[in-house]
Amino acid sequence: MNLYIASSPLQLLNCIEARDRFHADEENHLFFIYKKPIDLEQAKPLLKHGWASRKFFKWTKLSRLFYGVMLRSYLGRVKRARNLYLGYPYNIRAHIANSTASNVWVVDDGNYSVWLADQLENADSGIWRRPSLADRLLGRRVSTEYLREAKFFTAYPVLERSSHLSVINDFQCVRANLANMEETEEVIFIGSPVVGNLVQSSSQFVELMAEVSKYYNYQRVIYVAHRYEDVDELKDLLGGLNFEIKRFATLIEMQFMIDEQKPRALSSFTSSALVNLNLIYDVPVVAFQVPDSWIPKNKRDIYGAVYKQLQKDGVPLTRFEKE
């Protein structure tokens, strides 16, 4: 028996790749955590086949307090899981890891796993957490000590130099399902919620997107909205530019396979999907680098590391120079 914990479509895709590559003929159980209906909606195409059971757990103010009690019956059924795959190591996931005797594997959630592997080497890192009094009273087993023995299933070769065992995810099972992929003339920009995160204002965002339009010689570019972006707001902001705003029904890595079509070019500001899509579909990619002065001060180090990692992963960077 194997257990997979996912809380985003990308984590789920990586769990499915691990399932099909290592445990195809075994008993595989999915535990999917979601906050918003769109999280579940975009995961649906990945939920249809290959699971002995699927449990959906809504993350609310109530469930984040009482999951220690709420999961007792479920954990009694899956405590014998031999392998546990997860994409994020804290709270409810730590509780499940500490309630089983599983081998723990961390799958990619963007490039978070690269940061996590680095933190595992630091005894003073904030990732090391012990249960508080409230945790103990509520039966939440949230210690992260289990990570000391964790392994990685990752698309990032840099983790092969980690002291933790790493197995490279080259999406061989996903790629095995590709056939007769048509290359279109479309150019796709992968969106993300950048205002307040990567840039400080909506006007800066619009100015950067104007530079993206210029980069592509003002031809039509499809802007694929992140599941947490407001499509109507994007249409208002980018209405004067030559962008077609779309939201895909599922994870972009899977949407191309469903459509049996791939674009001729892909770009984004910081999306790790560029790495996966280049690996799976062999589409040219580029990341547009935001000026440091436009990134909120408390996030400059974070995004500096993200751009360095994209470069290490073979994604070309185009820097936008702004005052």
Ordered structural domains, the chain, with CATH: 2-171 (3.40.50), 178-319 (3.40.50)
pLDDT at position 119: 86
pLDDT digit string (tens) for 37-73?
989 998 988 888 899 999 999 999 999 999 999 999 9
pLDDT at position 287: 96
Q: Residue 143 in contact with residue 131, Cβ under 8 Å? A: yes
pLDDT at position 161: 64
Question: Position of tokens 């769109």?
Answer: 38
Question: Position of tokens 């933790």?
Answer: 164
* Count of helices and strands (H, E) across the chain: 13, 15
pLDDT at position 48: 81
For the beta carbon of residue 117, count every other beta carbon within 10 angstroms: 22
pLDDT at position 27: 97
Q: Residue 194 in contact with residue 205, Cβ under 8 Å? A: yes
E-strand ranges in 60-198 read 83-86, 103-107, 151-154, 166-168, 182-183, 187-190
pLDDT digit string (tens) for 64-112?
999 999 999 999 999 999 999 999 899 999 999 999 989 999 999 887 8
pLDDT at position 179: 75
pLDDT at position 323: 59
Which residues in the chain come in under a pLDDT of 50?
A: none
pLDDT at position 128: 94
Alpha-carbon gap, residue 302 to 100, rounded angstroms: 33
Q: Residue 29 in contact with residue 81, Cβ under 8 Å? A: yes
Q: Return the closest-CA partner of residue 18 out of 7, 35, 30, 8.
A: 30
pLDDT at position 160: 65
pTM confidence score: 0.87
Sign of CA dihedral 195, 199, 204, 205: negative
Sign of CA dihedral 15, 17, 23, 27: positive
pLDDT at position 158: 67
pLDDT at position 322: 65
